[in-house]
A and B are shown apart, each in its own frame.
Chain A
C-alpha cells in the first residue's frame, strides 16, 4: 500500500526543479513554510511558543528588578506598564495557546491513529495566523510610536479595562496593536479548534469508540469546544473597541453614556473559560504521564471525562468573579461566588483520581513524572488559593493585590508550565528520536521549582499586607520590602533552570542516546509509530480494542478489553 500524505493533491515542484538540495537552508525554510504536516506544525507551535516564552520571561525579570527594592529608579513608569502588559498578553495568547495547540497538533492524530489532522491546510493557516499575530504584538515596540517616545508598546494591562483604552486615555497606536493582534490570534485559535474537534470525532481508527479515546484527546475535545464558545465574545469586544476608537461608537465611552463594566463582562466571558482552556491541556498531559510512570491505567476514566466536561461547563458561568469589586448587587456577587466554589468539586475529583492512579502502582521518577508530581502539589495550592478568591468578601481584600498575582502564577506556572515541561520531556524521544538527558533535566527541575516557589510564594504574603498589583514602585515601610526582595531573588534560579532546559533540548538532540519507538513502555498509539514518526504516521492504520492498545499487545494474556 502506498502511504498517502495529506499534501498528495497539493503540487509542490520537486526540489531539484528549483535547484535546492535536501538539507540546504533554503530547502529547510521552504519545508517549514509550505508544510501542512501536523507533526512539523506541532513542533513549530511549540518552538515559537518557547521563543515568545523566553522574551516574555525576560520582561518579567525586568519587572522583578524594578520591584526588588522600594522607590527603585531602574525603569520609568511607562516602560514598566508596557512590560507587564506585554508580559501578560504574550504569556497568555502567544505562549500558553501555541504550546497547547502544539501538543494537540502533534499528538491527536497519532493518538487516534490517523495520518494527519482533518484539515491540514487549515492547520497551517492557523499556525501562521498565530505566528504573525504574535509578531504583530511585539512589532508595536517599533511600529507604534505614540506622542511621547519612540517605543510605545501597549500599556493598558492584559485585560485592558475600558475606558483606559479609549482614545482619550490611550493615544498613539499601541492599543490598536494589542487589539488587532488578539483579534487575529483568535481567528487562528478557532481554526485550530475546529480541526481538533473534527479530527477527534471523525478520524479515529477502527475500534476506537469515544469511550476508548485517550483522556488526552478527550480533554482536548472539551478544550476545543470551550475555545469556540469563548473566543467570539473576545473578538466581539475587540471589534467594538476598534469601532469606539476610530468610528465614533460609544460602547465603552463613558463620557458619552457608554459602559465601562460592559467591557469587563465581555472580556471575562472569554477570560475565565480561557483559564481552563489553558489549564485543561495541563490536565491532559498529566492524565497521560501519571498512569505510564505509575504503571497503572488511569483511575476512574469515565469520571475523569465527566469531570473535564463539568469543569468546562461550570467555567462558562463564573466570569464575574473577576468583578466582585465593581459594585454588583449582593445577589449577583452571591451567584458568582457559588458557581466559582462549585468548580472546586470536579477539580478536586481530578486530583483524587490522579492520586488514585498512583496508589498501588510502582512509581518511576523519570523527568516527566517529576514535573507531574510537582504539578500536583502546586496545583493543589493554586486550587485552594482559588477557593479563597471565590469567597467574595475575602476577594474584596485580595483581588487586584499581589495575592492574585501569586494565585494565577501558581496556576499557570505551577500548573500549566510544569505539565508542559513534563509533556516536552515525555514526547521528546517520540518527536526527535533522542532521549532527553536526565541529569540536565533534573537540574532544570530542581532549579526551576525552587526559583518558582521563592518568587511566587512571598507574593501571597505581600498581597495579604496590602500591596496592589501593577504598581511600578512602592514606599518603604509598608511591610512589603522583604517579600519583594525574596521574590526578585527567586528569578535568578528560575532563569538558571530555563537555561538548563534549553541546553538540554539542544544537547540531547546532538548527543542524546537513541530512543526506541517506545522508550517509556507506554500504552497509547503514538508509541506504536517509529520515533520520529514518518510523514504518514502509520504504515497501516491501527485497530484498537481498548483504551490501551499497546498494553493489549504487550500483555496478550491479560488484555484491557476484557475489563473495560
Chain B
C-alpha cells in the first residue's frame, strides 16, 4: 500500500503518511521518556532500600498538560480522517467512467460489464486514467455477493470494500499506471478464502477498447478434430448446468462464464496460471488443484478429458 498507483490509493497514502508521522513522533517521545525514567530511577544498590523515595501522589497541572496535548493531537487526526473519508466516499463519477459489476462467489469473482455486455471472471480490465483533463477515466465498481461476505482489496489501487449479500456497495479505482495488479478476497469466506484472488489489468485506452471488442464476439464452435469431439462431450456432460458459453445452450450461472476462458491469466481464481496442462488437470479433477471448491470431480474418461480440454482451449 506504500506504492500507490491510483487516485484513491494515493489519497489514502498521503493521509497515512500524516498519521504515521504523528504516531512515530509520539512513539519516539514516549519511549525515550520511558527509557530515561527506567534508567534514571533504577535501584542503585542495597543501600537504596533503606530509605523510601519521596511519596508523590499526583499533580493537577501535569495531569492537565498530558490530557490537553493528546486532545490537540487527536483533533488534528480527526480533521485529516474526516476530510479523506469525505473525498473518497463522496467522489462523483464522470459520465465516461467505466462501470463494472463485481459479484463475489465462494471462491471466485464474477465480472460483468453490463453496458458492454461482457461477462468474465477473476480479472478486471480497465483503462489507465490521466490525472486531469480529457483522459481522466475512473472505473466505478458495483459490489454484490451471491453467497457470503467477501471483500474487494487491491492494495495498490484501492482500500477494502466488502461484497455483502443483500446489500449494494460500491467503490472506484482510478489507476495512473499500466500493469497487472494483484488483490485477494479480504473477508474470510470459507474453505478456499485463500485462493480467491483477483487481478486488475490496467491498459492503454486503445488496448482496453480492443479487449472490449474481442470480448464481445461469441466464440466459434470448432468443427473438426479433437476440439469438436470435446465440444460434443462438453454439451453431453453436465458442464452446461453450471457454466455459460455465449451463443450456445450452455447457460449455467453457478460457475464462471467460460465464453472467453482463454483470455484469462489464471485458473481457479488464481490458484494456478492458465496453461493447457493446468486446464487439463482442472478438468480431470478440480479438487487436486483447489481442495473444497464447488466443482466436483466429474469422473470423466481420459479421452473425454483430452477432448474437453482441447475444446476449452478454443474459447478465446
Of B63-71, B206-214, B233-241, the one with at least 4 CB within 8 A of chain A: B63-71
Find chain A residues with CB under 8 A from B242 CB. Answer: none
The reply to whether B74 and A392 form a contact with Cβ atoms under 8 Å apart is no
Is residue B190 within 8 Å, beta carbon to beta carbon, of the partner chain? yes
Is residue A169 within 8 Å, beta carbon to beta carbon, of the partner chain? yes
Is residue B277 within 8 Å, beta carbon to beta carbon, of the partner chain? no
Q: Kindly supply a per-residue 1/0 record for chain B positions 61-95, scoring 1 wherever the CB is within 8 Å of any chain A CB and 0 otherwise.
A: 01100110011001001101110111011100000
Of B34-42, B172-180, B215-223, B252-260, the one with at least 4 CB within 8 A of chain A: B34-42
The reply to whether A468 and B89 form a contact with Cβ atoms under 8 Å apart is no
Q: A327-B161, A356-B62, A393-B81 are in contact. Are A466 and B182 (CB under 8 A)?
A: yes
The reply to whether A260 and B2 form a contact with Cβ atoms under 8 Å apart is no
The reply to whether B16 and A295 form a contact with Cβ atoms under 8 Å apart is no
Jot down 28 A-B pairs with beta carbons below 8 A, ordered by A: A77-B292, A161-B149, A163-B165, A259-B166, A260-B164, A294-B53, A327-B169, A329-B89, A333-B85, A334-B82, A341-B74, A348-B70, A355-B34, A355-B37, A361-B53, A364-B43, A380-B30, A384-B23, A388-B23, A392-B85, A393-B81, A393-B88, A394-B15, A400-B188, A401-B186, A470-B194, A472-B193, A558-B55
The reply to whether B166 and A260 form a contact with Cβ atoms under 8 Å apart is yes
Is residue A512 within 8 Å, beta carbon to beta carbon, of the partner chain? no
Find chain A residues with CB under 8 A from B193 CB. Answer: 81, 470-472
A518 CA / B191 CA spacing, docked (Å): 54
Find chain A residues with CB under 8 A from B74 CB. Answer: 341-342, 344-345
The reply to whether A333 and B41 form a contact with Cβ atoms under 8 Å apart is no
Shortest beta-carbon contacts, A-B, top 7: A396-B159, A471-B194, A327-B169, A300-B58, A254-B165, A466-B155, A254-B166
The reply to whether B191 and A299 form a contact with Cβ atoms under 8 Å apart is no
* Number of B positions contacting A (CB below 8 A): 89
Find chain A residues with CB under 8 A from B149 CB. Answer: 161, 163-164, 260, 326
Is residue A34 within 8 Å, beta carbon to beta carbon, of the partner chain? no
A331 CA / B159 CA spacing, docked (Å): 18
Q: Kindly supply a per-residue 1/0 record for chain B positions 189-208, scoring 1 wherever the CB is within 8 Å of any chain A CB and 0 otherwise.
A: 11111110100000000000
The reply to whether B27 and A381 form a contact with Cβ atoms under 8 Å apart is yes
The reply to whether B148 and A163 form a contact with Cβ atoms under 8 Å apart is yes
How near does chain B come to A64, taking the closest CB pair, in angstroms?
A: 15
Interface residues of A in 291-338 (CB under 8 A from B): 294-297, 299-303, 325-327, 329-330, 333-334, 337-338
Cβ-closest chain A residue relative to B17: A394
Is residue A184 within 8 Å, beta carbon to beta carbon, of the partner chain? no
Q: Kindly supply a per-residue 1/0 record for chain A positions 386-399, scoring 1 wherever the CB is within 8 Å of any chain B CB and 0 otherwise.
A: 01101111111111
Q: Which residue, B52, B54, B192, B195, has most C-beta atoms of chain A within 10 A? A: B52
The reply to whether B81 and A344 form a contact with Cβ atoms under 8 Å apart is no
The reply to whether A325 and B70 form a contact with Cβ atoms under 8 Å apart is no
